Amino acid sequence: MKKILNFVLLLSTITTFSQIGKRFPSEKKIIKDRVTGYELTFLTTTSAGDSKTYPTHPQWTADGEWLIFRTKRANGDAVAVNERSGVMVQVTEGGYSGTLCMAQKSMKLYFMRQTENKMQVMEVNLEAVFADSQKGKMKPITAYERICGVTNPEMGASGDMALDANEDKVYFRIGKEEAAKYLDPNIKIEKSTGPRNMGAGPGGISSINIKTGEIKHVISVPFQVGHIQSNIWNPGELVFCWETGGKSPQRTWTVMADGTGLRPLYPEADYEWVTHEAVISKDEVAMAIMGHRKIDIQNEKPVEVITNGEIRNPENPGQESNWGNAGTREKPTGLAIVNLRTREMIIAGQTKSGSGLWHVHGSSDGKWAVGDDFSRSLYLIDRKTDEMILLTTGHKTTAADHVHPTFNRDGTKIEIQSAMLSEDNRTMNICIVNVPKEWLRR
């Protein structure tokens, strides 16, 4: 009897925790936008806490068939959805921390997982997971998962991670104490700025070789580092930001993996509110120069600085006078594209009113740019003709997060996250919007 009970307990444990490869039925649904008439392909439709990977990173797997996203349907693990069939497969087991990095040269997924005070860099063989899940014959987790490296506790590593274009190393953010070790003691450490009490330094970036586990320091800076991204077309090139939760003194930065070439990516003026930079091709980075605040807002009564970094008004953020005289339409604003080589910047487009474009992206072939705004509407821009159209709207300002558009590698479709179908007006789903056929024929 005791042996039977032990077997049942073992089986229960396996059933509870051996979840990689678990399949979820298709929820795929195609509808037409009520305003624009364009088709929207919802790959998830139930309220399961879905959200996409941040626009700084690839969303599709190397074969272009699967999208990997965050969700509560898998108890804190990541799920992939097949764009054609709508079938979903759980692709991690044991949780993850921060960014999900999809390789573009192989069917691999990379992420960080916290264990005690350390961070493990994990690799998942997606090809094997999908094949065995299809057969219904999953193996132990060790057949699909590999530990590539482990950070030291004193590094204060976070899950904000990026995969190099050569796919031989990952870059990640380090803590203040670790960053300070490599910073010139004569450099002034920046203090927090703005009403969200963020931005104080020092900060830094390190790398791990995913073949050998070797850790190398990349760069330390005197401010808070946010949104690390690699140029997936150019090995060893990084873009990151000075994170303040709003207007930064100098938002965008670039550096090479060996620590050389550190410089502001787009040297901004005091009146410019630069945000949401994303590498979109080998030579270009898209970013938003915001126009979401009324002129002379800096003369209004400042708000009390908070300590938890929360956003006071998620539907209309950044309206505190504490941010100063920035982010108004008194000066040029819009979807900006900066050339990494020539350092030249152009404005690809801007809405005529409202917040202006907010989260931005572009196709790697240089044809299209895309951006959302505070109303959660999505706009597409033809970079050759400067024509801009409303692609889709109605994704609800009460949504848990923003639309966050990201192009696929071919520049033919855009992934967004949307609360359009949400009954609680907050929960989000994964959605695909195609570039209109008449535009693709141009």
In this predicted model, what pLDDT tens digit does every residue of 333-380 receive, in sequence order?
999 999 999 999 999 999 999 999 999 999 999 999 999 999 999 999
Question: Does 406 have pLDDT greater than 80?
Answer: yes
Q: What's the mean pLDDT in 137-144?
A: 97
360 within 8 A of 334, measured Cβ to Cβ: no
Q: What are the distances in angstroms from CA 411 to CA 365, 435, 442? A: 7, 8, 13
Predicted pLDDT at 117: 84
Predicted pLDDT at 308: 78
Question: Does 188 have pLDDT greater than 70?
Answer: yes
Per-residue confidence band for 16, with pLDDT thresholds at 50, 70 and 90: very low
Per-residue confidence band for 12, with pLDDT thresholds at 50, 70 and 90: very low
In sequence order, the β-bridge partners of residue 362 are 369
Predicted pLDDT at 13: 38
Predicted pLDDT at 233: 98
Question: Does 1 have pLDDT greater than 90?
Answer: no
Radius of gyration of the chain (CA): 22
**CATH number corresponding to 23-52+272-296+318-441:** 2.130.10.10
Predicted pLDDT at 70: 98
Predicted pLDDT at 252: 99
Predicted pLDDT at 307: 79
Per-residue confidence band for 9, with pLDDT thresholds at 50, 70 and 90: very low
Question: Does 123 have pLDDT greater than 50?
Answer: yes
Domain layout of the chain by residue ranges: 23-52+272-296+318-441
Give the model confidence (pLDDT) of 56-79 as tens digits: 999 999 999 999 999 999 998 999
287 within 8 A of 275, measured Cβ to Cβ: yes
Give the model confidence (pLDDT) of 282-334 as tens digits: 999 999 999 999 999 999 999 999 877 788 888 999 999 999 999 999 999 99
Q: Comparing C-alpha atoms, which of 220, 221, 227 is closest to residue 278?
A: 227
Question: Does 386 have pLDDT greater than 80?
Answer: yes
Question: Does 18 have pLDDT greater than 70?
Answer: no
Q: Cα 193 to chain center, whole Å? A: 23
Predicted pLDDT at 10: 38
Question: Does 116 have pLDDT greater than 90?
Answer: no
State the average pLDDT for the chain.
Answer: 95
Residue type, 296: D
- Concatenated DSSP letters for 279-346? E-SSSEEEEEE---B-TTGGGSPPPPPPSS---S-TTS----GGG-S-SBTTS--EEEEEETTT--EE
